[in-house]
Chain A
Amino acid sequence: MDALGGLLHGFQVALQPANVFWCFVGCLLGTVVGILPGLGPAATIAMLLPLTYKMDAAGGIIMMAGIYYGAKYGGSTTSILLNIPGESSSVVTCLDGYQMARKGRAGAALGIAAIASFVAGTVGVVGLTLIAPPVAAFALSFSSPEYFALMCLGLALVVLLSGSSLIKGLLSMLLGLWLTSIGTDLFTAQSRFIFGQATLLGGIDVMVIAIGVFAIAEVLSSIEAGDDAKVLPVPRGLRNLLPSLAELKACRFAFLNGSVTGFLLGCLPGAGATIASFISYGIEKAVSKHPEEFGKGAPEGVAAPEGANNADTGGALVPLLTLGIPGGSSTAIMLSALVLWGVKPGPLMMLESPDVFWGLVCSMYLGNVMLLILNLPLVPLFAQILRLSAYILFPCILGISIVGAYGASGRMFDLGLVVAFGLLGYLMGKLKYPAAPLILGFVLGDNMERALRQSLMMSQGDLMTLVQRPISAIMLGLAALILLAPLLGKLNRMRVRAIAEGG
């Protein structure tokens, strides 16, 4: 099926009333989650996944993707009105968005953010539509050594970009590899690391880890931070939310810059929307005729990062859907969800599950339109969510976490694990260990071990097979380069500075 045929088929799936409904639910939930500081899309997807078990794969993934990109739209609202980013990818939007709001241009700032998100989000999906088929076709030639090398490269990129300490990123990933080894060995049925607990023979459910490390840990960190801020007033009425012609004209290049930068960086595992938003802001400031206005309420300073943060979604789905390699926490959980529904992301996904693949892609075109409608006229309504007291919100998140973890297996044992992983996630945050490599290590660990052992079986134990095949050798070489480059002091200082600026 070519891209055009795929699109036609995808729209038939996405426009089914049930799927339109799930797309809307996902976008709505995503917007709310994006607005609420302390609750991210990864945690929400993890908590709600057990509720989607009874849904078909297309409807489920359409809703989850809606939460994923909807949160990016919603994230700008708190940045502009509160100077508190709802999501890390909206940190840079605070710089100019909040300044515009203080000057009485809150409506225009919110409008620019919504329009940039729509334009770049749509460009990102177009990019996904065009690039996914050739990438998948190329990946069809991959065998076990190439897959092992690809996973090494993906994990190396995630570790490189996830925190200021490379050692902590690697340790976090190794912890994920260990956690995924718990249970029964893939090849020999040998039980590993089960501590005498028969319940652990089947391994640990990824949801249990994700709910603990993200949802519970986020609640604990938010309670510790005790953020309390005043919301700037939002002008009512669509007219007050539309930017002026001069502002839109000033943002022309920013829309394009955000779209391209966001999509390209989104394709790289680990880079993510946060880094994309900062880089596009940097580019915008560098090429601007009036860089001195950045940080004081320049509309381009809102358009570029908001665009990049939304175009990133389309990019992030390229490696997830065509190679089965997630680039971040949310996509890692989406990968697990697809596997649970019996869908195998990878080069054959387009052929084996066209409903899911093309249905998801086309639902994102619809979702972007829905989000534009939700985020322009309804922003004042959503801003009211910020008045929801934390003492009501946090118990609700803990309650949904319990329901989510228990709903997945019906085992009290899993709730105990959620408690333990909640503490682990909180302590990791306090000690500056990034959580993303842990979840990526956990999700990819099984496949990585399988690919490595299959490669060595094929070569009768000869490790050289990994470097004798050209694609595998190139990817392993890149992974090694990525991990060794920071040993050069100057390069590491650049990396740390980029991450620090990226929040």
Chain B
Amino acid sequence: MGRTILKDGDVISGAVLAALGVYIVMQSLAWEYSGPDGPGPGFFPFWYGVAMVALSLLLVVSAVRRGSVEREGAIDWTATKRALSTWAAFALSVALMNWLGFLVSFALLTFYIVAVVFRRSLVAAAVTAVATALGFYLVFPVALSLALPTGLLGF
């Protein structure tokens, strides 16, 4: 990973975490900080929220102070896209499970990974998708009596 990217990543992630810390502190102020029985529900979140703001600002400042550094090696965007597209396909298959059920959504996800991410033939992808979905069906609902998400088709 290039150090410039890591530096930018530190600044962005530091800013996101600082915002989260501010949100935590603001929320905690709405709850009781201390009552007659001792510390309230706002006590602990307030202090770790403050720590989160302080540390993330420290991260941002130290990343900015590092200044621009030469890249040690370029990011492999193709590889990153491969990983992120797999995540997107996984997210989509989970979203579709309410309608299509586990078996169909999982078979579609497997098909995508084999055909698109690993660039195997469509036949190999289809066979792998059907075989793995069938294998999951036989192991989990049939052999182990474990419920899987079902869709409109009832499986």
Name the B residues within 8 Å of A403 (CB-CB).
102, 136, 140, 146, 148
On whether the beta carbons of B27 and A399 are closer than 8 Å, the reply is no
Q: Are A224 and B55 in contact (CB under 8 A)?
A: no
Residues of chain A within 8 A (CB-CB) of B136 are 399, 403
With contacts A177-B48, A453-B44 taken as known, whether A412 is within 8 angstroms of B149 at the C-beta atoms is yes
Indicate if the CB atoms of B39 and A452 lie closer than 8 Å: yes
Complex CA–CA separation, A205 to B49 (angstroms): 22
| B129 to chain A: closest residue by CB | A395
Most buried by B among A165, A190, A402: A402
Q: Is B113 an interface residue (CB 8 A)?
A: yes
Complex contact B147–A410 (CB within 8 A): yes
Instruction: Assess whether A452 is in contact with B44, with CB atoms less than 8 Å apart.
Output: yes
Residue pair B82, A190 in contact (C-beta under 8 Å): no
Contact code string A388-429 (vs B, CB < 8 Å = 1, else 0) = 011110111011001100110010100110110011001100
Query: For chain B residues 26-82, which have a beta carbon within 8 Å of chain A?
Result: 27, 31-32, 34, 37-41, 43-45, 48-49, 51-52, 55-56, 58-59, 62, 76, 79-80, 82
| Bound CA–CA A391/B79 (angstroms) | 15
Centre residue among A216, A431, A454 by max chain B CB count within 10 A: A431
B110 touches A395 (CB 8 A): yes
Q: Specify which of A178, A396, A410, A433 is in contact with B48 (CB 8 Å cutoff).
A: A178
Q: Are B58's CB and A456's CB within 8 A?
A: no
Contact (Cβ within 8 A) B59 A395: no
Majority DSSP secondary structure for residues of B touching A: helix
A225 within 8 A of B: yes
Interface size class of B (residues with CB under 8 A): 35 or more
Would you call A385 an interface residue if the criterion is a C-beta within 8 Å of the partner chain's C-beta atoms?
no
**Interface residue ranges of A146-172 to B (CB < 8 Å):** 165, 167-168, 170-171
Query: Given A187-B37, A419-B90, 18 other A-B contacts at CB below 8 A?
Result: A167-B55, A181-B44, A190-B32, A190-B40, A190-B41, A193-B27, A216-B90, A391-B114, A391-B128, A394-B113, A396-B132, A402-B106, A422-B87, A423-B87, A433-B13, A456-B38, A457-B38, A457-B39
- CB neighbours (8 Å) of A433 from chain B are 13
**Is the CB of B15 closer than 8 A to any CB of chain A?**
no
Q: Which residue of A lies closest to B110 (CB)?
A: A395
Which of A221, A225, A399, A452 counts the most chain B CB atoms within 10 A? A399
Query: Residue A461 at the B interface, CB < 8 A?
Result: yes
8 contacts between A and B (CB under 8 A): A171-B17, A174-B21, A187-B37, A224-B79, A419-B90, A433-B13, A453-B44, A457-B39
Q: Answer yes or no: B123 CB below 8 A from chain A CBs.
A: no
Distance between Cα atoms of A395 and B107 in the complex (Å): 9
Contact present for B83 and A171 (CB under 8 Å): no
Residue A247 at the chain B interface, CB threshold 8 Å: no
B117 CB, nearest partner CB in chain A, Å: 6
- Shortest CB-to-CB span from B56 to chain A, Å, is 6
B87 to chain A: which residues have CB within 8 Å?
A: 216, 220, 419, 422-423, 426
Residue of chain A at shortest CB distance from B40: A188
B122 interface residue per 8 A CB criterion: no
Q: Select which of A51, A178, A226 is within 8 A of B82 by beta carbon.
A: A226
Measured between alpha carbons, how far is A185 from B62 in the docked complex, in Å? 35
- Beta-carbon nearest neighbor of B52 in chain A: A174
Give chain A residues whose Cβ lies under 8 Å from the Cβ of B58.
167
Closest residue of chain B to A191 (Cβ to Cβ) is: B41
Chain B residues with CB below 8 A from A219, complex form: 86
**Chain B interface residues toward A at CB < 8 A:** 1, 6, 9-10, 13, 17, 20-21, 24, 27, 31-32, 34, 37-41, 43-45, 48-49, 51-52, 55-56, 58-59, 62, 76, 79-80, 82-84, 86-87, 90-91, 94-95, 97-98, 102, 106, 109-110, 113-114, 117-118, 120, 128-129, 132, 136, 140, 144, 146-149
Q: Does A223 contact B (CB under 8 A)?
A: yes
Q: How far is the CA of A408 from the CA of B7 in the complex (A)?
A: 39
**Chain B residues near A389 (CB, 8 Å)?**
118
- Which chain A residues border B91 with CB–CB below 8 Å? 419
CA distance A418 to B95 in the complex (A): 12
Chain B nearest CB, measured from A491 CB (Å): 18
A430 at the interface (CB under 8 A from B): yes
B94 to chain A: which residues have CB within 8 Å? 402, 412, 415-416, 418-419
Chain B residues with Cβ below 8 Å from A395 are 106, 109-110, 113-114, 128-129, 132
Closest B residue to A405 by beta carbon equals B94
A174 and B21 CA atoms in complex are apart in Å by: 9
Is A192 part of the binding interface, using a Cβ–Cβ cutoff of 8 Å? yes
Whether B90 contacts A461 by the Cβ 8 Å rule is no
Interchain CB contact under 8 A, B44 and A399: no
Nearest residue in B to A178 (C-beta to C-beta)? B24
What residues of chain A lie closer than 8 Å to B76, measured between beta carbons?
224
Contact A167/B83 with A223-B117, A399-B132, A415-B94 known, Cβ cut-off 8 Å: no
Q: A185–B41 contact, CB under 8 A? A: yes
Given contacts A171-B59, A395-B113, is CB(A181)–CB(B45) below 8 Å?
yes
**B45 lies within 8 A of A167 (CB):** no
| A188 near B41: Cβ-Cβ < 8 Å | yes
Say yes or no: is A449 at the interface (Cβ < 8 Å to chain B).
yes
Question: A421 to chain B: closest CB distance in Å?
Answer: 11
Q: Which residues of the other chain, B, contact A460 by a CB distance below 8 angstroms?
A: 38
> A51, B55: Cβ atoms under 8 Å?
no
B102 touches A402 (CB 8 A): yes
Query: Shortest beta-carbon distance, B66 to chain A, in Å?
Result: 12
Task: With both chains docked as a complex, state the minimum distance between the C-beta of B109 and any C-beta of chain A, in angstroms.
Answer: 6
CB-defined contacts of B31 to chain A, threshold 8 Å: 185, 190, 192
Bound complex: CA A124 to CA B141 (Å): 39
Whole-angstrom CA separation of A220 from B85 in the bound complex: 9
Q: Is the CB of B48 within 8 A of A431?
A: no
The reply on A239 being an interface residue by CB < 8 A is: no
B55 x A170 contact (CB < 8 A): yes
A431 touches B32 (CB 8 A): no
Residues A168 and B59 in contact in the complex (CB < 8 Å), given A391-B118, A403-B146: yes
Q: Is the CB of A224 within 8 A of B83?
A: yes
Q: A223-B83, A226-B82, A396-B132 are in contact. Are A192 and B27 (CB under 8 A)?
A: yes
